[in-house]
Chains A and B, each alone.
Chain A
Amino acid sequence: MIPRPTHALPALLLASLGVLWLPAPLRAAPVCDAPAGRGALRLESTPSGARQVCGLQGLKKLPSREIVTALPSALGMPGEYRWKGVPLRYLVEQLGGGERSRIQLTALNDYAIQIPWADLVRYDPILAYSRDGQPMGIREKGPLILIYPFAGNPQLENQEYLNRTIWQVNAIFVR
């Protein structure tokens, strides 16, 4: 019943950002290869000053982990799936983030949520790019979705973790 807070950022700003980050000098080593076409995930970090865009192909080259779990029924998508993706902790650490960082994930529909560092340590959620070996389209909550290991962790079955299970992820901000 808790309505998802909506930050209705203007689409113009979103588009113009794409123009802004490209020429910015990279002050840290890139987390992933630059995408061939349109990027799937934008990474921004205050500590390292990194600003870069990753494509799905680039993400697939990073260390990955699999989580086999069903999602809480409120999220739809009934049934158990094998999710594969990059541990969020890896990405945050590559961006120079750590215990004191504010980690924020944003979705295509401008939904945004903060993920506490403790979650990354305790549950090690992944930014999944495939479900049962198949890439996910936008209509299927893709192309990137943050997956917590709900199986075996019943304490995760509450609204807080439903909110943190963000889909259609398109940006990560580490401050």
Chain B
Amino acid sequence: MRSSSANGSTSPGLLKSVPRLLALVCAMAVAMSAALWWTLRQTQSLAQPYQQSAPWYVSSVHSELARVSLLARQVQAGEASMPDLQERIEVLLSTLDRSGNGPHVHYTALQDTLPHTLEDLEALQRQVERWSVQAHAPQVDGTALTADIIEHSDAMLDKARRAVAAVHLASTQQTDQARQQMHNGFLVLSVVLGGLLVGTALLVWRLAHGARTASALSQQLAQANRELEKRVADRTRKLEEGRALLGFILDTSPSDVVLAEAQSGRVHFINHQLTMRLGLKAPPRTLFLRDLLHDPATRERFIHALDQYGQVDAMEALIGTHNPRWSSLSARLIEVDGRLAHLLWGFDIETHKALEAQLRDLATRDALSGLLNRRAFLERSTALFNHCRRHGQPCAALMIDIDHFKLINDRHGHQTGDEAIRTCAHAIGQALRDADLLGRMGGEEFAALLPHSTAEGALGIAERIRGAIARTGLRTPQGEALAFTVSIGVAALEPRHTGIEPLLADADAALYQAKASGRNKVLSYDPPIHPQEPPP
């Protein structure tokens, strides 16, 4: 919060000063450009040396004129030759020369300041040119020339002397003007440089101020950054803790949990429970759901439902490969990191399944003999009967009843009666094949359905049962040996049997017949006697 208030006070100040700074820098740039322009102009004018000046020019003219004058006198006196005079005249002319070949002189300046002097010099030049022409004429009249020179030169020398003085004065004035211009120029340059110095000082001050502010801001920023980092670290830690807690919860959950990619089978998460269930020491790197499911049919159903609806809820299936156990499975098709993944929750229902099986047994089995009870027998024998009938297979039913069971109960007690039923059930079971179906129909009565068995075969089996029981007998609680027998009625499947009941009824009728005709015997169903035979 401290940093935000500091920002509020400093940044608008900085922003406000930016246009002013910009104006200052622009002004400095303009001043510098002007100074640079002036300096460059001076540099340019000073780049080339200038050889000649007006004073030198006129003084040269004066001295050369004096030499010509002197030489003319010498020639006249015979002390010098004519070619010498010719040469000197040429030198004087070259000194006077103002064409491009001559030394550079500010004639225009001369013209402006001293027009009379310039006129005098021009007159002199014309005169000297005349002399030159005379001197170079084929017939040189030396006497006339020298006389002419001597006559005019003194007056011209006089003018030249005055010209030297005048030009000297004008030149000094010019020099002084140039000096003053230079002085003023440098004065202006000093002012500009001073202004630049002040501007630079101002900029340096602003820069230092800005640097201080920036330093303070960066410190605040660093502080804010540290706080932020701390908060991020804190959140990260909490998140990690949350993850660890979630992992712990999932690991300790009695459920099986796995999250694995659908395509690659890469395991994102698997809890301890499932790892143990799969008989692994460490969590597997890859896992496919189809490998987890034991039963192929269930597997297809499960995968199909998951692919089609994206979810499966509470499907019961055997999971695990080595020691499959019953589990209630729920699954979701989800997206993890842009890839399809399977999330599976399994709840172990092995105990539940065992209890269920037990209950089913209780519902279908007779507790005393361990055989199917009447309802279960009828249910299953109906299925078996229909199968045989549909496929035209032979099939036979036996009805078995313990003889004089009431007497056994009454004389030796219910324990002995129960023993007799158990012994009887065991003996029948021993005699039957695995495919045969046996049930206790109630009391001391048993029924068996023998698929693929003809009437003769069934009779043989029935006889074996009867014989075995007659031989076995049983012991009373008092230790006495007690013999007991059974009567058996046999009926084979015939076209008129539309269901199991008519077949059983026929077997029952045969049993009735066996009971009536003396017990401990096996009788086959005989249709003609069926209607007339009275019960015993």
Q: How far is the CA of A140 from the CA of B102 in the complex (A)?
A: 8
For residue B418, CB closer than 8 A to chain A, the reply is no
* Complex contact B91–A74 (CB within 8 A): no
B67 touches A11 (CB 8 A): yes
B140 to chain A, nearest CB (A): 15
**Would you call A140 and B87 a contact (CB within 8 A)?**
no
The verdict on B37 contacting chain A, using a C-beta distance below 8 Å, is: no
Q: Is the CB of B50 within 8 A of A74?
A: yes
Shortest distance from the beta carbon of B88 to any chain A beta carbon, whole Å: 7
Is A159's CB under 8 angstroms from B80's CB? no
Residues of B within 8 A of A1 (CB): 50, 53
Residues of chain B with a CB closer than 8 A to A75's CB: 51, 103-104
In this complex, what residue of A is CB-closest to B66? A8
B69 to chain A, nearest CB (A): 10
What 0/1 readout, one digit per residue, does chain A (113-153) give for beta carbons within 8 Å of chain B?
00000000000000000000000011111000000000000
Alpha-carbon separation in the docked complex, A4 to B95 (Å): 13
Residues of A within 8 A of B308 (CB): none
B101 touches A76 (CB 8 A): yes
Indicate whether A12 reaches chain B with its CB closer than 8 angstroms.
Answer: yes
User: Which residues does chain A contribute within 8 Å of B60, judged by CB atoms?
Assistant: 6, 109
Are A158 and B87 also in contact (CB < 8 A) when A11-B80, A75-B103 are?
no
Kindly provide the distance from the CB of B103 to the nearest chain A CB, expressed in whole angstroms: 6
Q: Which of A3, A38, A139 contacts B83 (CB 8 A)?
A: A38
Q: How far is the CB of A91 from chain B (nearest CB, A)?
A: 22
| Pairwise interchain contact B79-A72, C-beta atoms closer than 8 A | no
Residues A138 and B51 in contact, CB atoms below 8 Å apart: no
B97 touches A11 (CB 8 A): no
Q: B71 an interface residue at 8 Å Cβ cutoff?
A: yes
Given A76-B100, A108-B87, A139 and B74 touching (CB < 8 A)? no
CB of A11 within 8 A of CB of B74, answer yes
Q: How large is the interface on B (under 10, 10 to 19, 20 to 34, 35 or more residues)?
A: 20 to 34
* A29 on interface, CB distance cutoff 8 Å: no
Is A74 touching B52 in the complex (CB atoms < 8 A)? yes
Instruction: Indicate if A162 sits at the interface (CB-CB under 8 A).
Output: yes
CB under 8 Å from chain B, chain A span 32-66: 38
Q: Which residues of A contact B52 (CB under 8 A)?
A: 74
Contact assessment for A4 and B56 in the assembled complex, using a CB-CB cutoff below 8 Å:
yes
Where chain A touches its partner, the secondary structure class is: loop
What distance in Å separates the Cβ of B196 from its nearest Cβ neighbour in chain A?
A: 31
Residues facing A in B46-73 (CB within 8 A) are 48-53, 55-56, 59-60, 63-64, 67, 70-71
Q: How far is the CA of A122 from the CA of B55 in the complex (A)?
A: 34
Report Cα–Cα, A1/B171, bound state, in Å. Answer: 11
Q: B48 touches which one: A77, A109, A157 (CB < 8 A)?
A: A157
- Say yes or no for B90: interface residue by CB 8 A criterion: yes
Identify A73's interface contact among B48, B74, B81, B90, CB under 8 A. Answer: B48
Q: Which chain A positions have C-beta within 8 A of B81?
A: 15
* A1 closest partner in B (C-beta): B53
A106 proximal to B (CB < 8 A):
no
Please name the residue on chain B nearest to A78 by beta carbon.
B100
Contact partners of A138 in chain B: CB under 8 A: 87, 90-91, 93-94
Rounded to whole angstroms, the CA-CA distance of A3 and B63 in the bound complex is: 14
Instruction: Find chain B residues with CB under 8 A from A4 CB.
Output: 56
Total interface residues in chain A, CB < 8 Å: 29
| Interface pair B103/A109, CB less than 8 Å apart | no
Bound Cα distance from A6 to B80, whole angstroms: 23
Q: Chain A residues near B350 (CB, 8 Å)?
A: none
Q: A11-B71, A109-B91 are in contact. Are A3 and B55 (CB under 8 A)?
A: yes
B533 within 8 A of A: no
Within 8 A of A (CB), among B81-112: 81, 83-84, 87-88, 90-91, 93-95, 97, 100-104
Q: Identify A12's interface contact among B49, B74, B93, B101, CB under 8 A.
A: B74
Question: Distance (Å) between the CB of A146 and the closest chain B CB?
Answer: 14
Establish whether residues B95 and A109, one from each chain, have CB atoms under 8 Å apart when the complex forms: yes
**Other-chain residue from B55, B64, B67, B101 in contact with A77 (beta carbon distance below 8 A):** B101
A71, chain B: closest CB distance, angstroms? 10
B85 to chain A, nearest CB (A): 10
Question: How far, in angstroms, from A67 to B103 measured CA to CA in the complex?
Answer: 21
The B-contacting residues of A in range 92-119, CB under 8 angstroms, are 108-109
Write the nearest CB–CB distance from A61 to chain B, whole angstroms: 23
Chain A residues whose C-beta falls within 8 Å of the C-beta of B70 in the assembled complex = 10-12
Residues of chain B with a CB closer than 8 A to A12's CB: 70, 74, 79-80
A15 touches B84 (CB 8 A): yes
Contact partner, B104, options A76, A158, A159, Cβ 8 Å: A76
In angstroms, Cα B71 to Cα A15, docked, is 10
Cβ of A112 to closest chain B Cβ, rounded Å: 14
CB neighbours of A74 from chain B (8 A): 48-52, 103-104
- The docked-state distance in angstroms from the alpha carbon of A1 to that of B50 is 7
Hey, which chain B residues are within 8 Å of A76, CB to CB? Answer: 100-104
Q: Mark B356-391, 1 if CB is under 8 A from A, else 0.
A: 000000000000000000000000000000000000
Q: A8-B63, A75-B104 are in contact. Are A168 and B49 (CB under 8 A)?
A: no
Q: Identify which of B51, B90, B102 gathers the most chain A CB atoms within 10 Å of its CB.
A: B51
Q: Which residues of B contact A (CB under 8 A)?
A: 48-53, 55-56, 59-60, 63-64, 67, 70-71, 74, 79-81, 83-84, 87-88, 90-91, 93-95, 97, 100-104
- Name A's B-contacting residues (CB within 8 A): 1, 3-4, 6, 8, 10-12, 15, 38, 72-78, 108-109, 137-141, 157-159, 162, 168
10 contacts between A and B (CB under 8 A): A1-B53, A3-B56, A8-B67, A12-B74, A15-B74, A73-B104, A76-B101, A77-B101, A140-B94, A168-B91
**What are the 10 tightest A-B residue pairs by CB atom distance, in nearest-first order?**
A138-B90, A74-B51, A159-B49, A139-B94, A74-B50, A108-B91, A15-B80, A11-B71, A3-B56, A11-B67
Inter-chain pairs besides A11-B88, A38-B83, A109-B64, 12 sampled, C-beta below 8 Å: A11-B71, A11-B74, A72-B49, A74-B104, A76-B102, A109-B60, A109-B91, A139-B93, A139-B97, A139-B101, A157-B49, A158-B49
